[in-house]
Amino acid sequence: MISGGLFFSTFSSSVLLAVFLLFCRIGACLMIIPGFGSSRIPVRVRLFIALSVSLALAPLLTPTIQAALPDEQLATVAWFIGAELLTGAFIGFLGRAFIAALETMATLISMAIGMSNLPGMPIEGVDALPPVANLFTVTATAMVFISNQHWEILKGLVASYDAIPAGMPLASVTGVEKFAEQLSRTFVLALRVCSPFIVYTIVINLAIGLVNKLTPSIPVYFISLPFVIAGGLYFLYLVIVEASMVFLDGYFTWLQTG
C-alpha cells in the first residue's frame, strides 16, 4: 500500500508539473495574441481561458513535456518555466505584429481621408486610435472568431511543440530575425490594405493644390475639406470589404502555416 501510494503521488506530481509547464506557454501566448489578449477582456477571464485550454490539451501534450523534462530539480523546473514563458510570449508577439501593423496603417488611412482629428478610444489596445483605425482592428478581430480561425491558434500552439520542443530556449539572434521578418511581412500586408487610400490622398491633394494655385484668393483648402472627407468615406465604403479580406487572408495564412 505504501509503495502504491508513493507511485501514485509521484505520478500525480509529474502530471501536474507537465500541465503547469503547458499552461506557461499557452497562457503567455493567449495573454498577448490578438483576440484572446485584448485589453477589453478582464485578466481573470483570460487566465481562465488559458487554464481551460491547457487542461483540454493536457492529455495530448503532457507525454511530450514529460519526455522532455529530464528531472524535477528546482533548477531544471525553473529553466523550463522561463523557456516556456518566453516561447509563448514570442508566439503571441508574432500574432500581435499583424494588429500593430494594421493599427499603424489604419491611422494613415484616417489621415488620408481627413478624419485623424476625431477623438477616438482604446478598443483592441491601450492607446486611443481614430475611429477608422478602430473600425479596421475591431473588424479584423471579430472576423477571426466569426470565421472560427481562433481554433487555428490552438492548433498552432500544439504544433509549436514540434517546432520548438519544451524547455528549448529561443536563440536570441534567431528570435530577433524571425520577429523582424514578421514585422516586415505584416507591414507590407497592411500597406497593401491602405494603398488605395494613399493613391486617393495623393490625387486629391494634388487636385486641391492645383485649384489653389489657379484661385489664390479663395481658401480652397478649408472649402474642400468636407468634400475630401465625404469622398474618403465613400471610398472607404467601396473598398473596406476587399481590404479587410486581404488582411484576414494574410493573417489566416500565418495561423495555418506559421
Residue 49 carries which side chain, given as an amino acid letter? I
In degrees, to the nearest 5, what angle opens at C-alpha 176 toward C-alphas 18 and 181?
A: 110
pLDDT at 122: 64
pLDDT at 243: 85
pLDDT at 13: 77
Coil, strand or helix at 42 = coil
Nearest to 153 by CA among 44, 53, 22, 21: 53
DSSP state of 164: S
Taking the C-alpha atoms of residue 196 and residue 126, their distance in angstroms, rounded to an integer, is 28
Taking the C-alpha atoms of residue 155 and residue 216, their distance in angstroms, rounded to an integer, is 62
Cβ–Cβ under 8 Å, residues 179 and 97: yes
Taking the C-alpha atoms of residue 169 and residue 244, their distance in angstroms, rounded to an integer, is 36
Cβ–Cβ under 8 Å, residues 141 and 38: yes
DSSP state of 95: H
Taking the C-alpha atoms of residue 138 and residue 133, their distance in angstroms, rounded to an integer, is 9
Cβ–Cβ under 8 Å, residues 103 and 129: yes
Taking the C-alpha atoms of residue 116 and residue 75, their distance in angstroms, rounded to an integer, is 52
Nearest to 28 by CA among 122, 76, 95: 95
Residue 18 carries which side chain, given as an amino acid letter? A
Q: What is the pLDDT along the chain (258 residues), one digit of tens a residue?
A: 444 443 334 457 788 888 888 998 898 888 888 888 777 788 888 888 888 988 888 888 888 888 888 877 888 888 888 888 888 888 888 888 888 888 888 888 888 887 777 666 666 666 677 788 888 888 888 888 888 888 888 888 888 888 888 877 776 657 778 888 888 888 888 888 888 888 888 888 888 888 877 777 777 777 777 888 888 888 888 888 888 888 888 888 888 776
Cβ–Cβ under 8 Å, residues 131 and 118: yes
Question: Please, what sign has the CA dihedral across residues 164, 169, 171, 176?
Answer: positive
Residue whose C-alpha cell reads 494634388 in the numeric block: 206
Taking the C-alpha atoms of residue 152 and residue 60, their distance in angstroms, rounded to an integer, is 16
pLDDT at 171: 67
**Rounded alpha-carbon distances, angstroms, from residue 233 to 11, 61, 74, 239:** 62, 49, 60, 10
Question: pTM, whole model, 2 decimals?
Answer: 0.79
Nearest to 54 by CA among 126, 160, 154, 185: 154
pLDDT at 6: 39
